Structure 1
Amino acid sequence: MGGHALRVCVYCASSDGIPAHHLELASAVGSGIAARGWELVTGGGRVSMMGAVAAAARAGGARTVGVIPRALIRREVADESVDELLVTDTMRERKALMEVHAEAFLTLPGGIGTCEEFFEVWTAGSLGMHDKPVVLLDPHGHYDGLLRWLQGLSEGGFLHPGALARVTVVREVDAALDACAPARR
């Protein structure tokens, strides 16, 4: 990782109607990334939590990269303020580019799209396809049911204990950012 800015990919909600505390969480993450002199990689939308994390990161001076499929430019309202906006043809290309551009993955509350992104990078990491940190930030218990289900999978023999250990679950922003850069502490 050396002397360059750590590039953190943040997965989070991009839908309407998100409670204010989740938007505040996204803003705090963006501000924290900027305060550490890091770069932000997002899904390229400027609405909801995705927009809040990017706006806060930019406001703090962080470089931002957005990756958005052509079909979602209007729906997620492409963030034209990013330093670099990469437009893909498919969701699979989007996720691949986000993974290539990031050195750590931080998941905030979200829906099925956020879960899909989280599971994909977590699975790849647990299979040894990358060694990048995978962090789940959940201060309000959004993922408590999912985490109980995953523990049950492990107890039932369907999930290797090493796979569970591959994800860092935290409740505080600073702890999440620390977990994104274990070698930089």
Structure 2
Amino acid sequence: MKSICVYCGANFNGDPILLKAVEELAAAFADQNIRLIYGGGSVGVMGIIADAVLKNNGLVTGVIPQFLLDLEVGHMEVTELIVTANMHERKQKMADLADGFIILPGGFGTLEEFFEVLTWLQLGLHNKAIGVLNVNGFYDHLFAQMDVMVEQRMLKPNNRALVINSDQPLDLLEKMKAFTAVPDPVWFKDRDLI
């Protein structure tokens, strides 16, 4: 993987465990020559990971819509800043530039981006690894809900297995590099999920 798109929050809750994990991930990106693709912001977890990759002499491509740039939340020090007309173009550009995806703690936008690329993987529109850095159990309840979806036969186990997760940055990257799962794009033809 030469580039990874990181979805994360425009807020930061001050958690030192999260800060350490983000800094470790950023150092691993720089050490492994992985370009960070992210939302182009200078605030929150977004700003922290961009700054940390740059501090480690890594490459950072930010992708930000014009309206957010106008609000002066764009990170002007990144290696490359791509400005899009809207959020839809931003998400498509980020996905196109990435060889994989990592989800860090965040809010609604982070979850929306995560589920969009996960759905695309399930449908066979890409075959890129999707990893969740589950810092301090942040996504435990989300994973539990996914398990309920499998138990209730609304989600196939093989599609649930498309979500790679770890609470350790280096472990997550290794799992993503070993990703070989094949999505089931004909899920809709099988009326019986079990």
Is the TM-score greater than 0.5? yes
Off by >4 Å, runs of 4+ in structure 1:
none
Equivalence for 2:93: 97
Distance 1:116 1:161 in 2: 21
Give 1:147's match in structure 2, choosing from 135, 143, 153. Answer: 143
Give 1:182's match in structure 2, choosing from 178, 184, 192. Answer: 178
Secondary structure of the 2:76 match is: coil
1:62-108 deviations in Å (ceiling 9; x for gaps): 11100011111255710111111111121111110000000010001
Equivalence for 1:12: 8
Alignment partner of 1:68 is 2:82:
no
Equivalence for 1:111: 107
Distance 2:71 2:148 in 1: 36
* Map 1:26-45 → 2, pairs under 5 A: 26-45=22-41
Give 1:136's match in structure 2, choosing from 132, 137, 146. Answer: 132
Q: Which amino acid aligns with 2:4?
A: V
Larger radius of gyration: 2
Please state how far the C-alpha of 1:49 moved relative to its aligned partner. 0.8
Equivalence for 1:82: 78
Tell me, which stretches of 5 or more residues in structure 1 are unaligned?
none
The two structures, once aligned, show a CA RMSD in angstroms of 1.6
- Aligned CA distance change for structure 1 residues 53 and 75 (closer, same or farther; 3 Å): same
Give 1:156's match in structure 2, choosing from 132, 152, 157. Answer: 152
- Aligned CA distance change for structure 1 residues 23 and 74 (closer, same or farther; 3 Å): farther
